[in-house]
Structure 1
Amino acid sequence: ERRPDVRPRHLDHIRRLDEDGQIRFAGPLKDDRGAPCGTVIVMEAEDLARARSVAESDPYLLEGVFEAVEVFESLQVFPELEEQ
């Protein structure tokens, strides 16, 4: 299991994004036994290509903890945003 060794680099990667104000939510997915089975990250990015680039540079992917990443565009409905 490579996860414990790679976790500090993964968290640094996410922390930098959070410090830049890009992260809206991030945390592990867990299976029915409570074991980590993935990660969900909701972030703001200029476009889908940038979001994909961020996901593909995650140490968990680069070091083989994750087999793959999936990136989707989303539209925030709730909580409601104030009109600008």
Structure 2
Amino acid sequence: MALFVVYCKDKPGALETRMATRPTHLDYLNSVTALKAAGPLLDDAGSPIGSLLIFEAEDKAAVQALVDNDPYTKAGLFESVAIDGWRVGVGSITG
């Protein structure tokens, strides 16, 4: 198993899509046992502009499948999605 960070940026002007899809997105994330941490990226005013997620999975393909099934992805919220391997350098990820 390895850790992966997923960095998603919303399309400009997509706040309404984000908020309308948020309940099903949260339900989905709460059902994903591979998820270690997640939360919104924020602009300087504190408004959501994207998402950051950390998964523990066998490989990048498994993480891509999880991202592909996320209601935010299915709603077309994201302008870009990057998935990279990651390891904890300081602190810890539990859960």
Query: TM-score if structure 1 supplies the norm length?
Result: 0.80
Runs of 4+ in 1 over 6 A off after TM superposition: none
The structure with more strand, counted as a fraction of residues: 2
> Structure 1 regions of 5+ residues with no counterpart?
none
Q: In structure 2, what is the equivalent of residue 16 of structure 1?
A: 31
Amino acid at match of 1:30: L
- Aligned-residue RMSD, C-alpha: 1.8
Structure 1 CA distance for aligned equivalents of residues 30 and 41 of structure 2 = 18
Question: What are the equivalent positions in structure 2 for 1:1-84 lying under 5 Å apart?
Answer: 1-17=16-32, 20=33, 22-79=34-91
- The one of the two structures with greater contact order (alpha-carbon pairs below 8 A, sep at least 6) is 2
Which range is displaced more, 52-61 or 26-35?
52-61
Count of aligned positions: 78
Q: Percent of counterpart pairs with the same letter?
A: 36
Q: Which has the higher helix share?
A: 1
Larger Rg computed on CA atoms:
1
